[in-house]
Amino acid sequence: MAGAVRLLSVRIFGAPREGRRELAHALGEAVQLTNVLRDLAEDADLGRLYLPRELLEMHGVPVDTPHAALRHPGLAGACNDLVVVAERRFDEAMALLGAMPRRPPAPARIILVVYRQLLQRLRQRGFTRIAETGQAVEGREALADPAPRAALASWPPSM
């Protein structure tokens, strides 16, 4: 389902046919992973945890309950590994946008800039003590940040 929404979105954004599918997958996955990291505490309160089981197991994080996972010291390592994956997908999306024959569509540029900055803020804030503070939810404030306007004024943005 998410893949279909991604493909439809880039088509609506006006992305050229060449590279559209790759852009949809790269940018869509990067945004989805950023949302997973942003919503850790909120999702745990709902009994959900969307971090990849492989990463949790690699860092010794228990998967019996979401709140137990959020309290585990290995959670930061699992989250930081997921940040690396998301950053790589943002890099791929940036390269695809940069290869477009004309200026990339504004919605795709805006999504890339805003969500990449959100991911950077989450990484800087860190992924410890999420269960106690709900700090990952605070990442939503980046979506209202006016700073992306400056980054969009000249393309590509410096990140």
Q: What is the mean pLDDT of each run of 10 residues along the chain (159 residues)?
A: 48 56 86 94 94 96 93 96 97 87 76 92 88 53 54 56
pTM of full prediction above 0.85: no
Q: Which pLDDT belongs to residue 131? A: 64
Q: Which pLDDT belongs to residue 110? A: 85
Whether residue 156 has a cis bond before it, omega within 30° of 0: yes
The full set of domain ranges for the chain reads: 2-153
* Residue 44 burial class via C-beta count within 10 angstroms: exposed 0-12, middle 13-18, buried 19 and up: buried
Q: Which pLDDT belongs to residue 153? A: 57
Architecture of the structural domain at 2-153? Orthogonal Bundle (1.10)
Q: Which pLDDT belongs to residue 51? A: 96
